[in-house]
């Protein structure tokens, strides 16, 4: 059996990735079972999807252990689809957090009101100082939250890209297994037809 056509590390990568996704989905199932249901039944839907993803991950693990190209292809296609599906809630969460963070900076900014006993000049000076301090504090808060939002965005993009890249490598591994099986089947068929050819040659000579 020719194994030179199969990348050497792809099988270990498939096993490792299928185990990681299986464990993460089972952990999600365990946690979501204790989450109270809401009116939109989001927890229930995510729970059902986690069950499905865990089953596909198990198929990928079995396929990697047995070098079954069909099961590995199913697992790779699931990873590609999961990368797209997970990108949608990540974008929604980032938009939702950006709105919350803007309000957080406004609420966190300290505001000092001048005393009623102070004079007009002191009141104006205090108000001007208050506006400067308020603006500076709000800018610092927004810079920090923009940095956090940028880090979350980069992490989401990197995670999605990495998952897509790994899924494509596993898909290529499945295709290489399919080609190898086709070569092996072709050699077996040649060996099965060789005796018949010899008999035909002998009969033609006679």
Is the pLDDT score of 2 beyond 60? Answer: no
In a domain, 201, yes or no: yes
Would residue 127 count as lying in a domain?
A: no
Mean pLDDT of the chain: 75
pLDDT digits (tens, 9 = 90+) for 96-142: 666 666 666 655 444 444 445 544 555 555 555 655 566 667 777 77
Radius of gyration of the chain (CA): 31
| Cα distance between residue 178 and residue 116, in whole Å | 84
Query: Would you list the DSSP string of 144-187?
Result: HHHHHHHHHHHHHHHHHHHHHHHHHHHHHHHHHHHHHHHHHHHH
pTM confidence score? 0.66
Per the structure, the count of domains in the chain is: 1
Q: What's the pLDDT band for 199 if we cut at 50, 70, 90? A: very low
Query: Which region holds residue 41: left if phi is over 0, alpha if psi is between -120 and 50, else beta?
Result: left
The pLDDT of residue 56: 95
Q: Is 184 among the domain residues?
A: yes
- Does any domain span residue 38? yes
pLDDT at residue number 205? 45
**Cα(57)–Cα(184) distance, rounded to whole angstroms?**
28
Residue 16 resides in a domain: yes
Two tokens, residue 140? 């610092």
Residue 72 resides in a domain: yes
Q: Which of 165, 172, 175 is nearest to 80 (CA)?
A: 165
Residue 34: which domain range?
10-84+146-205
In a domain, 163, yes or no: yes
d(CA 28, CA 54): 10
Closest by CA to 70, choosing from 62, 18, 8, is 62
Is 1's pLDDT higher than 70? no
pLDDT of residue 10: 85
Q: With 80 as the cut, is the pLDDT of residue 171 above it?
A: yes
Assess if residue 97 is contained within a domain. Answer: no
Residue 36, φ and ψ in degrees, nearest 5? -65, 145
Q: In 3D, which of 50, 57, 46 has the Cα closest to residue 20? A: 57
Quote the pLDDT of residue 127.
Answer: 56
């Amino acid at each position: 059996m020719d194994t030179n056509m199969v990348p050497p590390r792809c099988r270990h990568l498939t096993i490792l990735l299928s185990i990681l996704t299986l464990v993460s989905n089972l952990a999600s199932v365990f946690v979501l079972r204790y989450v109270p249901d809401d009116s939109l039944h989001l927890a229930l839907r995510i729970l059902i999807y986690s069950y499905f993803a865990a089953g596909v991950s198990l198929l990928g693990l079995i396929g990697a252990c047995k070098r079954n190209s069909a099961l590995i292809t199913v697992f790779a296609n699931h990873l590609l689809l999961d990368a797209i599906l997970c990108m949608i809630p990540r974008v929604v969460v980032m938009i939702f957090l950006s709105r919350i963070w803007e309000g957080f900076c406004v609420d966190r900014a300290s505001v000092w009101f001048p005393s009623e006993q102070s004079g007009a000049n002191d009141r104006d000076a205090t108000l001007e100082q208050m506006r400067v301090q308020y603006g500076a504090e709000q800018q610092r808060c927004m810079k920090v939250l923009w940095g956090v939002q940028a880090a979350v965005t980069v992490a989401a993009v990197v995670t999605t890209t990495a998952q897509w890249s790994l899924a494509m490598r596993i898909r290529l591994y499945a295709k290489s297994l399919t080609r190898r099986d086709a070569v092996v089947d072709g050699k077996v068929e040649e060996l099965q037809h060789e005796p018949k050819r010899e008999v035909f040659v002998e009969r033609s000579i006679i």
